[in-house]
Structure 1
Amino acid sequence: MGLDACDGDGNMYSKEDIQAMLDSMNVSEMLKIMSQICYEKAEILRSDWQDIETARAWEKVGRAVGKIKIKTELY
């Protein structure tokens, strides 16, 4: 089983694609971006779809990811 992810436009991203993104930035930056994306998804769900329950779930994930602290930079 491969570790592929699909974006909203149907584009596939492989494990290697995600690894390349991590290689181009540090882990803290990647986590910050992931947290921001979670909050943005929550806002879209709340405003465009009136899906409060799923929006809250995405906010919870965003908070959890945002709380992850990396003590040293990994290269």
Structure 2
Amino acid sequence: MSLDETLESLVDKYGLSQVLFGLVTVCHEKEDHIRTNWQDATTAKAWHSDAVALENLAAKIRTI
């Protein structure tokens, strides 16, 4: 199964906003891991920014 097919399956099963909120969780976990284990504030901040952007998008989609 390709990545596109896997994503489509997840969206079909959970809905787009829930898949996006799942990605928000992944981004925050990556941020915490990088900040804790690598002390790389720049990369951690990038993951945090991605999480915030995805969270905002997911919230907008949920209200449609």
Q: TM-score, normalised by structure 1?
A: 0.73
User: What is aligned with 1:3?
Assistant: none
Aligned counterparts, 1:44-55, within 5 A: 44-55=33-44
Partner of 2:7: 18
Q: Tell me the distance in 2 between the aligned counterparts of 1:20 and 1:66.
A: 21
CA distance in 2, matches of 1:48, 1:34: 21
CA distance in 1, matches of 2:47, 2:29: 9
Distance in structure 2 (CA, Å) of the matches to 1:28 and 1:18: 12
| Residue of structure 2 aligned with 1:65, choices 35, 43, 54 | 54
Provide structure 1 residue ranges, at least 5 long, that are not aligned to the other structure: 1-11
Runs of 4 or more consecutive aligned structure 1 residues displaced over 6 Å after TM superposition = none
2:21 maps to amino acid: K
Q: How many residues align?
A: 61
Which has more radius of gyration?
1
> How many percent of aligned residue pairs carry the same amino acid?
31
Aligned match for 2:18, one of 20, 29, 39: 29
Alignment of 1:2-17 (within 5 A): 13-17=2-6
RMSD in angstroms over aligned alpha carbons?
Answer: 1.5
Q: Which of structures 1 and 2 has the larger relative contact order (alpha carbons within 8 angstroms, sep 6+)?
A: 2
